[in-house]
């Protein structure tokens, strides 16, 4: 598996939108489609390449541009954490209806790359992370030297700590973490240095 990752940290509140490409096939997915512009369109290249929009959790800054992608790329499929549908519907922001509902253990296949769904509630009740080989996309569960806030609807501090300790910190320490905001890090660095866990 060889995965190319581009980050566009330009969404609302500095949200990271990721364009990931399976290099063997050229197939692409957008993780957390909160931002859309000409640069991303040029990097996607054509409707045939973009296969999925994948949402890590239901907060609006992570899906604000989803409808633009759906309008531009007619074949793209929108994958959303099933348990965060109430969070999405509880906000006054337009979000397209999902084509795929994600839950623990699901696999999203992108060419030769497989993304495994790991449920990590706490920031929201239905938040997920996406593990692919030696990288993981953590949404707003785990950041570099920080963690997701838990004071919004369906958030819970002790549930978040459980998700991080029992789901993420049990992974290989060399795995690279791509968070929903801020810079990349690694599982091992966060285990040693993150002051919140």
- What pLDDT does 75 receive? 92
- What pLDDT does 45 receive? 87
- Is residue 74 predicted with pLDDT exceeding 80? yes
Q: The CATH number of the domain where 61 resides is what?
A: 3.60.15.10
- What pLDDT does 21 receive? 97
- What number of other Cβ atoms are within 10 A of residue 88's Cβ? 22
Domains held by the chain: number: 1
C-beta of residue 136 within 8 angstroms of C-beta of residue 168: yes
> The domain containing residue 118 runs over which residues?
3-193
SS3 call for 70: helix
Buried b / exposed e across 99-138, counting CB within 10 Å, b at 16+?
A: eeebeeebebebbebebbbbbbbbbbbbbbbbbbeebbbb
Tens-place pLDDT, residues 141-162? 999 999 999 999 999 999 999 9
């Amino acid at each position: 598996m060889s995965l190319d990752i581009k980050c566009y940290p330009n969404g609302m509140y500095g949200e990271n939108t990721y364009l990931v490409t399976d290099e063997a096939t050229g197939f692409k997915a957008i993780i957390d489609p909160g931002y859309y512009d000409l640069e991303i369109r040029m990097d996607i290249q054509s409707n045939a390449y973009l296969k999925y929009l994948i949402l890590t959790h239901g907060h609006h800054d992570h899906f604000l541009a989803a409808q633009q992608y759906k309008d531009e790329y007619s074949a793209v499929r929108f994958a959303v954490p099933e348990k965060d549908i109430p969070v999405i519907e509880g906000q006054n922001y337009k979000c397209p209806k999902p084509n795929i509902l994600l839950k623990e253990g699901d696999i999203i296949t992108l060419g030769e790359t497989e993304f495994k769904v790991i449920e990590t509630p706490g920031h929201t009740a239905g938040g997920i992370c996406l593990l692919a080989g030696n990288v993981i996309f953590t949404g707003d569960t785990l950041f570099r030297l920080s963690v997701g806030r838990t004071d919004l609807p369906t958030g819970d501090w002790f549930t978040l700590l459980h998700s991080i300790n029992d789901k993420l910190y049990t992974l290989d320490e060399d795995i690279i973490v791509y968070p929903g905001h801020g810079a990349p890090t690694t599982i091992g660095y966060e285990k040693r240095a993150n002051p919140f866990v």
